[in-house]
Structure 1
Amino acid sequence: MNSFRHRPFGLPTLAALMIAAAGCSSADDAPSAAVPSPGAAVAKLCGRLDRVLPTKVDKLGRRDPEPASALTAGWGGDPAIILRCGVSRPAKMADPEADGVEVNGVGWLLEQRADKSFRFTTTLRKAYVEVTIPARRTGDGVAPLVSLAPAVKEAVPEGIAD
């Protein structure tokens, strides 16, 4: 015999739950980022990267995006510089005419997006690390990559990502 009884929610209870849920929502306008889903080996590298990432990038303090994950990081406010580790290989890497840049020993594929932001993805590393720099923050060029290169070099070995 099951002694658990279902009790119907009354309108006051439902209203209280809705108010509580609204109070728990992200009211601080934290940035958001889709969390990649890499395999175990890449996830381990990304976890290492997360532990050595700088607290400041281009003079902006770290403010990680929602949902919280060791695979994502952010700096600044609105709009934030966003790093995602363990992303899939960008199709643009197959283009021999694609633009690239090397910053402090780390190679990056450079893609300007329709909204004038830039997306950089590491090349020749065991995990693909993507950094998105919003259009309003591109005035300093690759300064964010200068801040991030030492951590990438330390945590993600050279090679070809799976």
Structure 2
Amino acid sequence: MFYRRVVLISVSAAACLSAAAVYVFTASGGDDESVAVPVPGSQVTAYCKALHAQLPKKVNGLPGHDLKPVSPLTAGWGDPTIVLRCGVPRPAADDSVNTDGVEVDGVGWSIEPQSDGSFRLTTTLRKAYVEVVLPKKYATDLGPLTDLASAVKHTIPAGI
């Protein structure tokens, strides 16, 4: 059975979210960034393409920009970049009852602190896994997840 410890949305949860790794991309900013593009099956790819069409132009007040390679499975905002990748594998951390999670506007996210002080957040209980990496600079609140929740809810069905 799958259990998850839930983090209450509070000052301490916001503090937990104060970072995100750029483990998947290399570059200094802007549209020179390279991101590993997921390679999901056809149904998940269809969900991800629908998500990409619904993504907000701004996240946390930051403008969106292309990443390299340009793909409907990835998106980026700001500098340093908030990176979204759709169609990633289910995180191994989801197997642990000790993995923290948060629900933001009806979308559940697992929270994985990274060794550089950043956080990787991945949707839970959805037909496609969406990963968001929040740079430390922007990870002091849940604003980015709030901005993305509506698009995720409307394009990635709940379920496993």
Asked if residue 81 in structure 1 is aligned to residue 86 in structure 2, the reply is no
Q: Which among 47, 50, 61 is matched to residue 48 of structure 1? A: 50
Alignment of structure 1 residues 7-156 onto 2, 5 Å: 30-77=32-79, 79-139=80-140, 141-156=141-156
The whole-number CA distance in structure 1 between the counterparts of 2:64 and 2:130 is 17
CA deviation vs aligned residue, 1:43-91 (integer Å, no higher than 9, x gap): 00000000000000000001121110000000012x1000000000110
Tell me if the contact between 2:31 and 2:65 (Cα under 8 Å) persists in the aligned partners. no
Tell me if the contact between 1:30 and 1:66 (Cα under 8 Å) persists in the aligned partners. yes
What RMSD over aligned residues (CA atoms) do the two structures have, in Å?
Answer: 1.3
Choose between structure 1 and 2: higher strand proportion. 2
Choose between structure 1 and 2: higher helix proportion. 1
Tell which has more relative contact order, 1 or 2 (C-alpha 8 A, sep 6+).
2
The whole-number CA distance in structure 1 between the counterparts of 2:136 and 2:56 is 22
Residue ranges of structure 1 left out of the alignment (5+ in a row): 1-26
Shift of 1:35: 0.1
- Higher radius of gyration, 1 or 2: 1
Q: List structure 1 segments (4+ residues) > 6 angstroms apart after TM superposition.
A: none
> Structure 1 counterpart of 2:155, which letter?
A
Q: 1:46/1:110 Cα in 2 relative to 1: closer, same or farther (>3 Å)?
A: same
- Secondary structure, in 3 states, of the residue corresponding to 1:38? coil
* TM superposition score normalised by structure 1: 0.79
Aligned length: 132
* TM superposition score normalised by structure 2: 0.79
Percent identity reads 53
Residue ranges of structure 2 left out of the alignment (5+ in a row): 1-28
Mean Cα displacement is larger for which, 47-56 or 27-36?
27-36
